[in-house]
Structure 1
């Protein structure tokens, strides 16, 4: 009888131990399915407009991009916390001379994407198309259980079009 009780207790402990896994909460945020374009700061003054076309999984999207001034984050440091660690931290945004634009690409997948940029220069001349083909980056910033974030970005400069770092 004691053996039966010991086996039952052991079985119950095993069931409870395997069912009490910690639950990880995933943030309720969404990612915009876009192909982002950054015009390099040295090339930006010579760019008036950009038409972007992206093709992935047999679907293509294209549009004249609304180019906006780009910026970079400038760290303003942290105040000391009450127990010696960092307290409130802040940053500000500062123009960096680039231009940025986005093309909605719904859905955006992890498979290869072909991007073509056609530039109109500052004098109004249309330049030859520039192309890049690459696999978008896949990240799991909140863990594998929270799904993936897929990003596709390109940089345009005098040398052409390339995947963003």
Structure 2
């Protein structure tokens, strides 16, 4: 990358040092930049998914954030936690710990996969938001992306506008 530069020629980085640099240097820096952007923007959506991580054989909670910045919608990774077995109250506790430094009054919607424990989680979270911020969350189903996409697709198809054909024709082959 920096051919001919004396420092770059003597630089070496093993797996452990590289992991340390990423976890303790780069990750906190980029997390800080993302959180400062969130504090400047007015609204955001949190997305989460829980799945079993095969390596530690433990349930992993991944949280992403979606926000509008400079007239563009961005979805960014926020954090992950290993949570083990998680009932709705456990899930809420981990979710709150992961998002404690975000402004609650800017949260518009929480998008998640659809198991029943997540609906119970959603009800508990919405009660917390109403008590803290005197506002509710936008509830458009378990996964906002799929619900909105399905509604748009059905609307385009049913109106005979030809919009669905136009959109399909611009997809890469």
TM-score by length of 2: 0.23
Which entry has the higher C-alpha Rg, 1 or 2? Answer: 1
The structure with the largest helix share of the pair is 2
Of structures 1 and 2, the one scoring higher in RCO (CA 8 A, sep 6+) is 1
The structure with the largest strand share of the pair is 1
